[in-house]
Amino acid sequence: MNFLQCKVFVTLIFACVNFPVICGKMVSIQEDVLRALLVMNRSCDTGASSSHYAFYAYLSHDLPEPGGNRHFVYNTIITNIGHAYSNITGTFTVPRDGIYSFTWSTRVACSKAHTTELVVNTRVLGSTYIWCGYNTVTGHVIAHASQGDAVFVRTNSSPGQDTILDRLQKLEKYSTSQNEKISSLENVITHLENTVSHLDNENSELRSVQTELTPLLTRRRTRQDQLNVNDARRLLLDGPSSGQYAFYAFMSRDEPEPGGHHLLVYDNVVTNVGNAYNNFTGIFTVPRSGLYSFTWSTRVACHKAHTTELVINTRILGSTYVYCGYNTVTGHVVTSASQGEAIFVRTHLTSPGQGAIKSDEFGRSAFSGFTIG
């Protein structure tokens, strides 16, 4: 067992010390074996049932051209404690009401693209987008589920993108049809060049103003982040009597050009047991001292890059780097935290990245966490 496999295993074991969370993984394969689906359910309350539910499965073969709304069937089962997963239908049937954690990974061939979705019955709770060269992209969701609910992974209703060759052929046809227009546009370009020369002079003046304002804006942003942390600490959070806390939220829209040390706000809350997460500030305020698990996913636009950090107060606990074609990158941290501490995700200060952080139905930027013990 390598380090990453061990880390995942230990995290899932810890997840059931004092919190009846059901932890899961789903994976698809393209050309070689990928990690697959793992679900664990353990009730740790005194006098509660000791039943476990866990499964781990993967695809034994490639899925050529699955198309839209294709239901994935992970046919090779490694673990299936409680027999809640079917390798005939690819569906996990929820054995009892509770809070569940699901993770799924997808890999595609070079120059191909797919969006996959984690679905409960007919409700899409999470999605990932993967494009280009044999990358593996992972999604993660924590959500309430009721006994009898069907949980599965499928492709988006829109099929995968064309190959690069197909796109080049389309571009060549389009380029041919535009040749006649180029001649008439040359005169317009000449006029625009003169305009640009005039605007360059104005831009020089604006750059001087920007140089003066940048330090002021940086100090203001730092102060605002500190105020957000202080506001979150002042919230009076009355958690449930069981002492269980879990949340899962994602961005409902893109975050354009966030800049350095920008606190990311995941405004669309799916799960918030104990109300410790604030979707206005993006901060999880630790309701009680203990051991916690946090996961965050980030997606960027094509040919853009960003570094994100998981922060507790002012201490950086973990970071991820995502670059290029609409990929989704996931980070995970297990840490001890004290009551009242603020935990959030932000961009890097000295390497703020470029372009938008993406979040839409083709792949969500999300943040989740739960108490372990």
Closest-CA residue to 358 (of 282, 249, 253, 248): 253
Model pLDDT, residue 187 = 80
How far apart are alpha carbons 36 and 24 in whole angstroms? 9
- Ranges of residues in the chain with a pLDDT under 50 are 1-50, 235-239, 241
- Per-residue burial over 260-293, b = 16 or more CB atoms within 10 Å of its CB, e = otherwise: bbbbbbbeeebbbbbbbbbbebbbbbbbbebbbb
75 — phi, psi (to 5°)? -85, -20
Which element (helix H / strand E) includes 86?
strand 85-86
The residues that bridge with 347 in the sheet, in sequence order, are 308
Residues 6+ apart with CB under 8 A from 114: 66, 106, 108, 129, 130, 155, 156, 160
How far apart are alpha carbons 43 and 373 in whole angstroms? 13
Contact 252, 359 (CB under 8 A): yes
Model pLDDT, residue 34 = 37
Looking up tokens 């698990």, which residue turns up?
A: 293
Model pLDDT, residue 297 = 92
Closest-CA residue to 23 (of 124, 123, 90, 101): 101
Model pLDDT, residue 24 = 40
Residue range 323-365, pLDDT digits in tens: 765 578 899 999 999 999 999 999 888 776 677 888 888 889 9
Model pLDDT, residue 118 = 94
Closest-CA residue to 113 (of 153, 173, 72, 155): 155
Q: Across 216-314, where does the E strand assignment appear?
A: 246-250, 268-273, 277-278, 283-285, 290-300, 304-312
How far apart are alpha carbons 105 and 262 in whole angstroms? 28
Which element (helix H / strand E) includes 344?
strand 342-347
SS3 187: helix
Contact 326, 277 (CB under 8 A): no
Model pLDDT, residue 107 = 83
pTM over 0.75: no
**CATH fold of the domain at 236-371:** Jelly Rolls (2.60.120)
Model pLDDT, residue 261 = 85
Residue range 133-189, pLDDT digits in tens: 556 888 999 999 999 999 999 998 765 555 555 566 667 777 887 777 787 788 888
Burial class (CB within 10 angstroms; exposed 0-12, middle 13-18, buried 19+) of 230: exposed
Q: Which ranges in the chain belong to alpha helices (H)?
A: 3-14, 164-233
Let me know if domain 3-155 sits in CATH 1.10.3720.10: no
DSSP assigned state of 160: P
> Is-same-fold flag (3-155; 236-371)?
yes
Domains of the chain, by residue range, sit at: 3-155, 163-234, 236-371
- Angle of CA points 41, 47, 49, to nearest 5°: 35
Residue type, 350: T
Model pLDDT, residue 46 = 35
SS3 100: strand
